[in-house]
DNA sequence: TTGTAGGCGTTATCAC
DNA sequence: GTGATAACGCCTACAA
């Protein structure tokens, strides 16, 4: 058991040169049938597998892409990864995965190891803590292809893939208004993420069109994004000035609002409409099922990976931002009795999963 | 932009040999302070990063471990990955991630690329479709360290990390019986997975101790593990011979049972107790919150990765199976009124998350 | 204190 | 048809 067999091993055993072995295995022209046969048989017998590391070194291409994300346990990110993986594997690439846990220092270290590992390109959704982008700039300056998804940085000439958060939020809030809800509380995400701003903006726009304004005390930041956080916040607000609907920047926050409502005896959806964002797996399972805005995670991953492979193979790229559409998912949490449970007339909605 | 700087580049620019550069950068003894300084400055300026690929080739060590799992979107697996990553990154290893999507052919291909990539070791939870293990045996025969987790194969001398599924199931069913439920329906997982058998066995044992038997029509397989599947199955069964409790092999199936019950006007937990397995993220958010058995996913990942690194660094190993404990999580779905909502007396339970 | 040479596994190039 | 050689980037005996 002296490790993996190499071309040299086969060559030595067969008393031929390793270049011949290499050619025989790849069916190059100009190798006698007999040699080819002998080589292939021995290779099979010795369980020969080409050494990808040696190949990487020689070709200066690792056929590996790096993925930097906050956390795999987020349903959204795990679907994105599936999309990335699908494209990668179909094109002969491996995926190296690193999680920042939303930590900036860790992110910087990860960038270093990505560079060292000589990945052919990197897909990034940066950490919540990240406000400066020199580490990513460095990769770009080295000529390493980078595609940002979901969270896009304040940098020049990047390639990005996002969903139309503004429009998604707009549709969500418009739906709430269409259902007759009037006083909307917006639970927003971390202020430093562009997606938070865009969702807030979409929310404002829908209200504006209805002749309303989102007053400052009707928009509350949920920086941590835990269910406990939003539950606490909602409980306080429901106690002194209850809204009649909540539009949360993500489903977890929405679930917190539902919990608070339940504990305080506020009926969802009749006394309070609740709308989330992201369509987490649990959203269709809570009671009442949660209306939300679905983001095409798998497609984002596919798109981002495709763009990256394109950049890698073409050695050049056009800076741009690809915007994918969200989809409003209307469930029971925003369908008060008065408009009827099965009234799906408002706008392009669709029933829940499965 | 001629790619990454190499030792040679620095050497040439400084008119010294690349071995000197190498030594200077690593603070080897016997390099003049002056040289060292010059080298380090230039390295910094050129943004030099050691080429991990070259290192891998030379040392015959890639400092990369492979992870083969069915799907990242499963909450359980994503927590396992987090545990693996944590250990890996803290020990200077990268993680290559591949999903089988429960597909056997894909799994075999993945094993090939893992071998080609010269990963230093592999962590595996194999596909549901997989019934033969030659591909894993091949890795083992090549001397490639492998650790199996959660789903362990029928192979000799392997290293495994699992949870005590039998005991977890036993505790779960015992709790149901303690609560006064009598007629228990078991929704089991795919029959070919050892975990399914163990959970079923634990279920039987608890019943046996209570002087009952699990009759054949009270154990139903849910091979796909979707919510729709179990919902359909339960609806049929509830219609002609309703049990008073369901013990599902996973939370998704349990959620399906709850849905079926809700649609048929069966009250959970008073008319039907529902117990899941795995403690998915959504389990605490459904209504009523779902009792379940939590598996320490993160710890499984940590343990499996630690064992693997140990095997890698020691070049030898002792076949064994590490068994981690599950934890019964009692929530409202198995606490009928008659025993009181806050009666946590039965056995070592604990309240839900957050 | 520094340089030289060889090799990790592969393949492209040139030579016979 | 086949072989020898060099090169990818790095490290490390061994030499000087």
Nearest to A78 among B72, B116, B280 (CB): B72
List pLDDT tens digits, range A14-44. Answer: 999 999 999 999 998 888 999 999 999 999 9
CA-angle at B63, arms to A314 and A125, nearest 5°: 50
- pLDDT value, residue A225: 84
d(CA A353, CA A336): 20
Residue pair B152/B160 in contact (Cβ under 8 Å)? The answer is yes
Interchain contact B82–A (C-beta under 8 A): yes
Using omega within 30 degrees of 0 as the cis cutoff, is the peptide bond preceding B65 cis?
A: no
Residue B237 · residue B266 · CB < 8 Å: no
pLDDT at A306 over 70: yes
- State, as a whole number of angstroms, the distance between the CA of B29 and the C1' of D14: 17
Task: Find residues 157-176 of chain A whose CB sits inside 8 Å of chain B.
Answer: none
| Beta bridge mates, B322 | B161
pLDDT of residue A323: 97
Position B193 scores a pLDDT of 85
Instruction: Judge whether A60 is closer than 8 Å to chain B, CB to CB.
Output: yes
| Residue A191 contacts strand C, CB under 7 A | no
Strand D nucleotides where any atom sits below 7 Å of a protein CB: 1-5, 7-13
What is the structure's pLDDT at B319?
A: 96
Angstrom distance, A260 CA to C13 C1': 74
- Candidates B52, B85, B144: best to mutate against A (most CBs of A within 10 A) is B52
Report the alpha-carbon distance of residue B116 to residue B132 in Å, rounded.
21
A348 pLDDT higher than 70: no
pLDDT at A29: 85
Query: Cβ distance A85 to B97 under 8 Å?
Result: yes
Within A249-296, residue ranges assigned H as helices are 251-263
Does residue B90 belong to the interface with chain A, where contact is any CB pair within 8 Å? no
Please give the average per-residue pLDDT across A210-229, as a whole number: 92
A351 CB within 8 Å of a chain B CB = no
Strands (E), chain A: 64-69, 94-99, 121-124, 146-149, 159-163, 184-188, 219-221, 245-248, 273-275, 292-294, 320-324, 327-329
Q: Pick from B240, B202, B234, B241: which is nearest to B220 by CA?
A: B234
Q: How many CB atoms lie within 10 A of CB A155?
A: 15
Nearest to B118 by CA among A58, A31, A3: A3
Spatial distance from the CA of A318 to the C1' of D8 (Å):
30
Query: Going by DSSP bridges, is the β-strand pair B292-294/B327-329 parallel, antiparallel, or unpaired?
Result: antiparallel
Total Cβ atoms within 10 A of residue B340? 10
- How far apart CA A223 and CA A225 sit, in angstroms, is 6
How many beta-carbon contacts under 8 Å exist across A and B? Answer: 149
- CB-based contact A274:A257 (threshold 8 Å): yes
Please say if the pLDDT value at position A351 is more than 50. Answer: no
The per-residue pLDDT for A140 is 93
CB–CB of A172/A346 below 8 Å?
Answer: no
- B321 contacts B289 by C-beta, under 8 angstroms: no
- Write the pLDDT tens digit of every residue in A175-204: 999 999 999 999 999 988 889 999 999 999
d(CA A250, CA A327): 14
| Interface mutation target, options B45, B55, B118, B225, chain A, most CBs of A under 10 Å | B118
Chain C bases closer than 7 angstroms to a protein Cβ? 1-5, 7-13
The DSSP bridge partners found for residue A103 are none
Percentage of the residues of chain A whose pLDDT score is greater than 90: 83
CB contact under 8 A, B285 and A255: yes
Distance from CA of A38 to the nearest CA of B (A): 22
In chain A, residues 27 through 56 whose Cβ sits under 7 angstroms from any atom of nucleic acid strand C: 48, 50-51, 54-55
Each of the 354 residues of chain B gets a pLDDT tens digit; together they read 457 899 999 999 999 999 999 999 999 888 889 999 999 999 999 999 999 999 999 999 999 999 999 999 988 999 999 999 999 999 999 999 999 999 999 999 999 999 999 999 999 999 999 999 999 999 999 899 999 999 999 999 999 999 999 999 999 999 999 999 999 999 999 988 889 999 999 999 999 999 999 999 999 999 988 888 999 999 999 999 999 999 999 999 999 999 999 989 999 999 999 999 999 888 988 888 999 999 999 999 999 999 999 999 998 899 999 999 999 999 999 999 864 444 443 333 333 322
Please tell me the predicted confidence (pLDDT) of residue B1: 46
Q: How far apart are CA B37 and CA A170, in angstroms?
A: 58
Instruction: List phi, psi (to 5°) of A322.
Output: -85, 130
Number of Cβ atoms within 10 Å of the Cβ of A192? 13
User: Mean of the per-residue pLDDT values for chain A?
Assistant: 91
Q: Which of A190, A187, A191 lies closest to A203 in space, CA to CA?
A: A187
Structure tokens at A40: 């292939």
Report pLDDT for A350. Answer: 37
**Does A2 score more than 80 pLDDT?**
no
8-state DSSP, A252: H
Token duo for residue B282: 């959504």
Distance CA B328, CA B171 (A): 7
Q: What is the pLDDT of residue B354?
A: 28
- Secondary structure (H, E, C), A170-218: HHHHHHHHHCCCCCEEEEECCCCCHHHHHHHHHHHHHHHHCCCCCCHHH
Model confidence at A150: pLDDT above 70? yes
**CB B238, CB B204: distance < 8 Å:** no
Alpha carbon separation from B97 to A88, A302, A306, B66 (Å, rounded): 11, 16, 18, 6
Is A344 a residue whose pLDDT tops 80?
no
The answer, yes or no, to whether the previous bond of B264 is cis (omega within 30 of 0) is: no
């Amino acid at each position: 058991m002296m490790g993996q067999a190499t071309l040299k091993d086969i060559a030595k055993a067969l008393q031929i040169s390793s270049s011949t072995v290499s050619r025989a295995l790849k069916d190059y022209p100009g190798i006698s049938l007999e040699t080819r046969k002998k080589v292939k048989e021995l290779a099979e017998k010795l369980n020969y597998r080409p050494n990808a590391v040696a190949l990487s070194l020689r070709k200066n291409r690792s056929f590996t892409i790096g993925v930097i994300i906050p956390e795999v346990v987020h349903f959204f990110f795990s679907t994105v990864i599936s999309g990335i993986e699908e494209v990668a594997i179909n094109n002969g690439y491996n995926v190296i995965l690193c999680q920042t846990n939303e930590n900036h220092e860790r992110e910087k270290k990860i960038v270093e190891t990505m560079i060292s590992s000589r990945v052919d390109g990197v897909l990034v959704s940066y950490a919540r803590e990240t406000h400066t982008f020199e580490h990513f700039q460095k990769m770009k300056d080295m000529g390493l292809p980078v595609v940002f998804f979901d969270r896009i940085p304040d940098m020049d000439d990047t390639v990005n893939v996002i969903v139309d958060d503004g429009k998604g939020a707009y549709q969500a809030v418009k739906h709430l208004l269409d259902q007759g809800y009037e006083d909307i509380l917006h639970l927003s995400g971390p202020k430093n993420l562009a997606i938070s701003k865009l969702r807030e903006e979409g929310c404002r726009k829908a209200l504006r069109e209805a002749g309303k304004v989102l007053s400052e005390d009707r928009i509350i930041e949920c920086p941590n994004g835990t269910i406990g956080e939003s539950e606490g916040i909602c409980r306080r607000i429901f106690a002194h000035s209850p809204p009649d609907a909540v539009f949360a920047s993500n489903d977890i926050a929405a679930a917190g609002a539902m919990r608070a409502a339940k504990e305080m005896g506020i009926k969802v959806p009749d006394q309070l409409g609740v709308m989330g964002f992201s369509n987490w797996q649990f959203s269709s399972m809570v009671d009442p099922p949660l209306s939300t805005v679905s983001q095409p995670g798998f497609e984002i991953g596919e798109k981002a990976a495709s763009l990256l492979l394109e950049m890698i193979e073409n050695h050049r790229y056009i800076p741009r931002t690809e915007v994918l559409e969200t989809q409003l998912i209307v469930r029971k949490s925003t369908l008060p009795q008065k408009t009827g449970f099965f009234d799906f007339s408002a706008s392009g909605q669709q029933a829940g999963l499965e």
